[in-house]
Amino acid sequence: MLATRQVALGQPTVGEEEIEALREVFASGWLSGAGPTCVAFEGELAAATGTAHALATSNCGSSLHLALQVLGAGPGDEVIVADYTFPATGHSVMWTGATPRFADVRPDIGTIDVDAAAALVNERTVGIIAVDMVGQPADYDELAALCRSRGLWLMEDAACSAGATYKGRPAGSLADLAAFSFHGRKGITAGEGGALVGDDATRMDLARKLHTYGIAPAVSREGSSALAVPSFDMAGYNYRMSDVQAAMMRVQLTRLPALVAARTSAADGYAERLGDVEGIALPVVAEDRTHPYQSYLVTTDDSVDRDAVVMALRERGVGSNFGTYASHLQPVYGTQDVCPVSARLFTTQFALPMHANLVADDLDYVAEQLRAVLADPAVRR
């Protein structure tokens, strides 16, 4: 079929405010990492997430790695990871030499199943990484109780959840440490980038040192009355965000409430247009949570060929893709963990266009095309 229009799967919301912020950074002469604009963004992000400290990083993967380093994960340890997630979560555990153990997820919202996580705890377990599935927070009160009872730390993979809440508390404040992503598909973005947030000053100070090769950032030496020559006493990394990215992120952070509202309105629009369609189930939102809808995932039943639906939608100009990964099935991990719920979601969920720039005509077109695709016997089993 010849598409009559194109509706992108994802799209950032940027404009003159971001351009003006970039001009100011260019004029300042400080474009590199961990500079004064990063410092300003970190303070604003900490306030927005209800945490004491924030650290701007190169991406979410580096934030996860830093968190695991300062929490002490290493060879011989096991870290329980929510299975239904982009593999950066499991990879970050492997980067420390620890072993990821994959816990199955809730069938309704795709976040870590607390009982499944509890069943994996053993003498080698040091912590749990919960994932806010496409933005919706996990069951943090229950997870925190489990971790307290077993002497474990709890980490929040908040890659997709800027603007989300759990029982009135903002994403980022729900665990010992939390990692955000500012990739181009995320709710707020600088194209790339990430952040680590938390309340423990000792951990966050160590993370800051590690993220700059093992020394304090250069901005901390500005204005010194004597020549400051740092001494390297540990091998750190170059995990810094540039001030160019931070300038964009400061503007994006001010947009966050409006962006979440626009995505929520789009999700409500899909529910109105698709609620009666057979063969699919629309996203579920827990009553005590705010979902920022980084993605809008639809689940097919056994009568529908998910892959055929995605390809047919693309032919009609509707951006679509699979949901995310059942991590335990990825060969890199070589795990014997079994996660049947996650495995099923991996083969039955697909994403419809979701971003803050969608208008009613876009939603009408997507719904019309999805109905037409599902009515085609070619996508039915």
CA distance 160 to 181: 7
Q: How many angstroms separate the CA atoms of 17 and 248, rounded? A: 8
Q: What is the CA angle 262-267-268, rounded to 5?
A: 95
Instruction: Render 77-140 in DSSP notation, one character per residue.
Output: -EEEEESBS-THHHHHHHHTT-EEEEEPB-TTT-PBPHHHHHHH--TTEEEEEEE-BTTB---H
Separation between Cα atoms, residue 3 and residue 315, nearest integer Å: 7
CA 197 to chain CA centroid, Å, is 13
- φ/ψ of 108, rounded to 5, equals -85, -45
For residue 336, give every residue at least 6 positions away whose Cβ sits within 8 Å of its Cβ, in sequence order, or none.
none
* 167 counts as catalytic: no
> Which residue among the candidates 65, 183, 186, 289 is catalytic per the annotation?
186
**Can you tell me which residue has the tokens 């995990």?**
239
Return the amino acid letter for 167: K
List Cα–Cα distances, 323 to 9, 53, 86, 93, 251, in angstroms. 12, 32, 9, 22, 29
Other beta carbons within 10 Å of 318: 25
SS3 76: coil
Q: CB pairs under 8 A, 24+ apart, for 212-218?
A: 212/33, 212/34, 212/236, 212/238, 212/239, 212/240, 213/237, 213/238, 217/33, 217/34, 217/35, 218/34, 218/35
Provide the pairing of β-strand 165-166 with 349-352: unpaired
* Residues labelled as active-site residues: 186
